[in-house]
Chain A
Amino acid sequence: MRRLPALVLTLVAGGAPAVAAQLLLHASLSARYSSTLVHDSIVTPLDVRPAIGPALALSADLPLSGPWQLELLTDVGTSSLERHDSDGSTTAITRLWTLGLAVGLRRQLHPWLAGRFAIGALNYLPAHSVGLFSDGSGGVMPYGTLAFDAAPAALAHHQLAVEVAGDLHKFLTPALRSIGFTDSRVVYRISAGVRVDLLGKR
């Protein structure tokens, strides 16, 4: 264990500038769709899901051996949480934020196409502790994400890329559990947007 501080010092003193030189920072802004969080039936069927909303992600790529890069990812999204009744009506419940932190691997698949997968922790942060979030959000839940970004020459020239991402997690809150839901629901989210290189180049 005593070797660890020495290793860290070596990285800081000697390796850090080299690593920093190869560090790539990206930001992406996208529109995100989420599948249904809750399907229930009270007299008639209803679904609860977030509306399509904006998502902002920041990622840092660190070089690894071979074609792979280590990617650290943070992702914030917001949208209105809505109830959809079977008669077609929609009712807003509250504003919902999500915060995700993930670590994954990334590589170039073609000169103009890159892909990454990551796993991490996702938290739902409702603006108000009401309804299905009245007893909390259920805490941090694991999630997995997969993304591809394409940078044709015209976009790459401006350090831009088009990004498509998807992720999966399970969803259940204490309030839902207290009324009899026993199983989590698998939720997927899909986002599409623009990715920009903030530091370094592809």
Chain B
Amino acid sequence: MLLALAGCALACVEPMVPDHAPTYAFTDAFGDVFHWPANRLPVRFYAEPRGNLPALVAAAVDAWQRQFLYGEFSGTMVNDSSTADVIVRWGDSVPPDAPPDNGPPVRACGGVTQGVLDSSGAAIAGPFETQIQILTGTVYTAGQVQACVARTTIHEMGHALGLFQESPDTLQDIMGAPPRVDQPSDGDRRTVEALYHTPPTLGPPPR
């Protein structure tokens, strides 16, 4: 018991809690907050089986999952789009698979994620739908395109997690538009952490 008392006394010396303040806003245009609730985890992601899109989406889900320390979010890939919470497709053409280019980022692709509200306006009506598009105005190498679609997929999955706004810091944050970094930053982590500890005002889509 003495040991327990000593432990209690020592435990009272609390380690310093790090700064978790978000670095950009995560609400939608009307100030609503959405994140996947605990009873909907793991969130189900479907990627159409063309090119390396399933691998890109799986890597993006993993990249976001690694930002959470305390079990706030988890995702899994599913093979059936009818059971998915998030559906990801190519917008048009499928880029050739190639090792991602490590050079300066170029805007060789784009992405869009849509979540539609139901008639009550209090919940998402159906699965989030994401499209990853290859831009054709300028010719880029296959490696540059792959690097672009990798970071854009992470960016779009950030929107599907509930980060509805773009970060103003396009040099640091994956949620900057267009994204110029390969992985979520410390600012992205702090923002998505804060989102998942903020009571949502929008419910998830029905399953």
> Which residues does A use to contact B, with CB under 8 Å?
35-36, 38-44, 46, 48, 83, 85, 89, 91-94, 130-132, 134, 144-146, 164, 166-168, 172, 175-176, 179-188, 190
**Per-position 1/0 for B110-139, Cβ under 8 A of A:** 000000000000000000000000000000
The CA of A71 and the CA of B41, in the complex, are separated in Å by 46
B189 surroundings in chain A (CB, below 8 A): 179
| 16 chain-A/chain-B pairs, Cβ below 8 angstroms | A39-B14, A42-B197, A46-B197, A48-B70, A93-B71, A130-B65, A131-B68, A131-B71, A132-B69, A134-B69, A146-B2, A166-B1, A166-B3, A180-B18, A185-B11, A188-B7
B29 at interface, CB cutoff 8 A = no
On whether the beta carbons of A40 and B10 are closer than 8 Å, the reply is no
The CA of A199 and the CA of B161, in the complex, are separated in Å by 57
On whether the beta carbons of B3 and A176 are closer than 8 Å, the reply is no
How far, in Å, is A103 (CB) from chain B's closest CB? 17
B4, B68, B186, B194: the one within 8 Å of A190 (CB): B4
B193 at interface, CB cutoff 8 A = yes
> A43, A83, A145: which has the most chain B beta carbons within 10 Å?
A43
B19 surroundings in chain A (CB, below 8 A): 180
On whether the beta carbons of B194 and A43 are closer than 8 Å, the reply is yes
Q: How many residues of B contact A (CB 8 A)?
A: 32
What 7 additional pairs, Cβ within 8 angstroms, besides A38-B69, A41-B17, A43-B194?
Answer: A39-B17, A40-B20, A46-B70, A46-B197, A145-B3, A180-B18, A182-B15
The CA of A91 and the CA of B70, in the complex, are separated in Å by 8
B198 at interface, CB cutoff 8 A = yes
On whether the beta carbons of B11 and A188 are closer than 8 Å, the reply is yes
On whether the beta carbons of A185 and B6 are closer than 8 Å, the reply is no
Chain B interface, DSSP helix/strand/loop, else mixed: loop
Closest to A131 in B: B69
B7 surroundings in chain A (CB, below 8 A): 35, 166, 168, 186-188
On whether the beta carbons of A40 and B8 are closer than 8 Å, the reply is no
A131, A145, A166, A187: the one within 8 Å of B11 (CB): A187
The CA of A144 and the CA of B198, in the complex, are separated in Å by 39
